[in-house]
């Protein structure tokens, strides 16, 4: 995925296994800090799902605009209909992971996509 023009930072590299779809990606290759908080203020940093397995995740940074905040990864499993849409009400929350470290956050996202049952 290429970084949109006029962005001072490239997108954070991610290892995405086959079958996974990343539908939201506003995670840039910059560390949170007083001068970079504008890049962590969206409602979602990453959102992905694997229709075959039903596993999905979303993530954000909280509290917004706080350089001392943390990355939050929320993991779930859902059922999908034959058209690839999540069945309403089928989502089961599997847990969350919180960290102040961006490297640990990226590693956990990649681990969840490789082995979601772990």
**pLDDT tens-place string over residues 50-108:** 988 999 999 999 988 888 899 999 999 998 888 877 889 999 999 999 999 999 999 99
For residue 116, pLDDT over 70 is answered with yes
Whole-angstrom Cα distance, residue 40 to residue 34? 11
- Strands in 55-62's sheet, in edge-to-edge order, are 20-25, 46-50, 55-62, 70-77, 92-99
Q: How confident is the model over 29-37, as a mean pLDDT?
A: 86
Provide the 8-state DSSP code for 84: S
pLDDT the model gives residue 4: 52
pLDDT the model gives residue 39: 80
pTM to 2 decimal places = 0.86
């Amino acid at each position: 995925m290429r970084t949109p023009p006029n962005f001072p930072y490239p997108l954070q590299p991610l290892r995405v296994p086959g079958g996974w779809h990343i539908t939201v990606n506003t995670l840039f290759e910059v560390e949170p800090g007083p001068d970079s908080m504008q890049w962590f203020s969206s409602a979602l940093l990453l959102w992905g799902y694997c229709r075959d397995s039903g596993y999905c995740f979303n993530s954000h940074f909280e509290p917004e605009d706080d350089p001392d905040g943390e990355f939050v990864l929320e993991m779930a499993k859902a059922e999908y209909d034959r058209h690839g849409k999540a069945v309403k009400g089928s989502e089961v929350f599997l847990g969350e992971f919180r960290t102040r470290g961006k490297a640990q956050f990226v590693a956990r996202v990649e681990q969840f996509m490789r082995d979601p049952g772990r």
